[in-house]
C-alpha cells in the first residue's frame, strides 16, 4: 500500500498545484487590470495603442479560459483521487460508496461548490474579457460596468475561499480568524502571482511593432505601478503566512522535525528569494526604466526586467508546488478533526476528515 500512497501523494500535489495556479490567475487578474494595466494604458494615446490593447486583451482571455478549464479538471481529479484514497485505506472497492463517503466530507462539499462557481465564471467571462477588460479608453469604446467587475471579484474570491474551508484553516482555533487570515493570504498571493504571469507572458503583446521608446514608456508605467502593488501583496502574504504558521505548528522546532514543517521551511526560503527579486524590481529596474524614459540613461533595462520577472515566475511556481504539498500533509498542531485526509498514518485514526 506504500507505493499506492506515494503515487497518490504525487498526484494530489500536481492536481493542487494546477488548481492553485489556475485560481490565482482568475482572481489576481482583477487587481492587476484595475490597478496596473488600465491606469498605465490610459496614459497613452487611445487610438494608436488600441491594437496593442486588444492583443493583450485577447491573450488575457486565453489565459483565463485555460485557467477555468484547468481548475475544473483539477477539481474533478481531486475528488477521484480522494475516492481512490478512501478505497485504498478501507481496503474496499473503488465505487459509488467510496465516492459518497468523500462527498459527505467538508473536502468533498467544498470541491463540489467549486464546480458551479467555475461554471458561473465561465458564463460571466466568456468573450467579455477580450471585449471589455481593456476597453473604454476611447469615447467610442464600451466601458466595463461595475457590476461585471464586482461579480467577477465575488465569484473568484469564493473560488479561493473554497480552499480555505476545505483545508487546515477550517479546523484551526478560532476558526473564523484562521479562515479570514487564510483567504486574505490566498488573495494577496494570487494578486502577486497573476501579476508576474501576465507581465512575463502577456504584456509584450502590447508593444508589438512599436519603437523602443514606446516599449520603455509603457513598461515603465506598468512596472512602476505593479512594483507597489506587489510590495503590498508580499507584505500581506508575509504577515498572514506568519499567522498561519502559528496556527498550524505546535512549536518552532517542527520547522525542521516534521514533514509539514520542512515543507513550510522550503516555502519560506523560496518566498525570501521572491522578496529579494521584488526589491530588485522595485529599487533597481523601476528606476532604470524611469531614467531610460526620461533620456537620462542610454542603457536598455528591458533585459534585466526579463531576467528578474522570469526568475520570480519560476520561484512563484515552486511556491505553489510547495503549497500543494502542504495541503496534503498533517500539520503538527493538534485538532479534534481534520478537514481532508492527509496521506499518512494519522488519517487512519481520524476518519472524520
> Rounded CA gap, 9 and 153, in Å?
32
- Count how many residues are written for the chain: 353
Residue 340's pLDDT is what?
A: 44
Closest listed residue to residue 327, CA positions, set 156, 111, 158, 119: 111
At 225 the pLDDT is 92
pLDDT per residue as tens, the chain (353 positions):
466 666 777 787 888 889 999 999 999 999 999 999 999 998 888 888 888 899 999 999 999 999 999 999 999 998 888 888 777 766 656 667 778 888 888 888 999 999 999 999 999 999 999 999 999 888 888 888 899 999 999 999 999 999 888 877 777 778 888 899 999 999 999 999 999 999 999 998 888 877 888 888 888 889 989 999 999 999 999 999 888 877 777 777 878 888 888 888 898 899 899 899 888 888 888 888 888 877 766 667 888 888 888 899 999 899 888 887 777 677 777 654 444 444 433 333 333 33
- For the chain, helix (H) and strand (E) counts, in that order, are 14, 0
The answer to whether residues 227 and 282 touch, using CB atoms and an 8 Å cutoff, is yes
Show Cβ contacts of residue 27 under 8 Å, excluding neighbours closer than 6 positions: 153, 156, 157, 159, 160, 187, 190, 191, 194
Sequence-separated contacts (24+) of 80-83 with Cβ below 8 Å = 81/8, 81/11, 81/12, 81/15, 82/107, 82/108, 82/340, 82/341
Note the pLDDT of residue 131.
92
Amino acid at each position: 500500500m506504500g507505493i499506492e500512497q506515494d503515487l497518490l501523494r504525487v498526484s494530489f500535489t500536481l492536481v493542487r498545484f494546477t488548481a492553485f495556479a489556475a485560481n490565482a490567475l482568475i482572481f489576481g487578474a482583477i487587481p492587476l487590470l484595475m490597478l496596473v494595466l488600465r491606469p498605465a494604458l490610459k496614459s497613452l494615446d487611445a487610438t494608436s495603442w488600441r491594437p496593442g490593447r486588444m492583443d493583450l486583451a485577447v491573450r488575457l482571455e486565453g489565459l483565463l479560459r485555460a485557467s477555468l478549464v484547468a481548475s475544473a479538471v483539477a477539481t474533478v481529479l481531486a475528488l477521484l483521487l480522494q475516492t481512490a484514497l478512501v478505497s485504498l485505506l478501507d481496503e474496499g472497492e473503488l465505487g459509488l460508496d467510496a465516492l459518497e463517503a468523500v462527498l459527505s466530507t467538508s473536502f468533498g462539499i467544498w470541491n463540489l461548490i467549486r464546480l458551479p462557481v467555475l461554471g458561473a465564471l465561465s458564463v460571466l467571462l466568456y468573450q467579455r474579457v477580450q471585449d471589455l477588460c481593456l476597453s473604454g479608453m476611447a469615447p467610442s469604446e464600451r466601458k466595463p460596468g461595475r457590476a461585471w467587475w464586482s461579480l467577477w471579484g465575488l465569484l473568484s474570491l469564493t473560488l479561493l475561499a473554497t480552499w480555505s474551508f476545505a483545508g487546515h484553516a477550517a479546523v484551526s482555533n478560532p476558526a473564523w480568524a484562521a479562515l479570514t487570515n487564510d483567504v486574505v493570504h490566498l488573495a494577496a498571493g494570487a494578486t502577486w502571482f497573476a501579476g508576474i504571469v501576465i507581465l512575463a507572458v502577456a504584456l509584450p503583446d502590447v508593444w508589438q511593432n512599436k519603437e523602443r521608446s514606446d516599449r520603455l514608456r509603457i513598461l515603465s508605467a506598468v512596472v512602476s505601478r505593479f512594483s507597489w502593488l506587489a510590495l503590498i501583496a508580499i507584505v500581506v502574504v508575509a504577515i498572514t503566512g506568519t499567522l498561519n504558521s502559528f496556527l498550524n505548528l505546535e512549536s518552532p522546532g517542527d520547522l525542521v522535525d516534521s514533514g509539514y514543517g520542512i515543507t513550510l521551511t522550503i516555502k519560506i526560503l523560496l518566498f525570501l528569494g521572491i522578496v529579494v527579486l521584488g526589491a530588485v524590481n522595485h529599487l533597481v529596474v523601476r528606476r532604470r526604466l524611469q531614467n531610460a524614459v526620461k533620456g537620462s540613461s542610454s542603457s536598455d533595462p528591458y533585459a534585466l526586467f526579463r531576467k528578474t520577472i522570469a526568475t520570480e515566475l519560476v520561484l512563484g511556481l515552486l511556491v505553489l508546488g510547495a503549497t500543494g504539498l502542504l495541503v496534503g500533509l498533517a500539520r503538527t498542531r493538534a485538532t479534534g478533526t481534520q478537514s481532508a485526509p492527509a496521506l499518512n498514518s494519522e488519517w487512519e485514526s481520524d476518519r472524520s476528515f
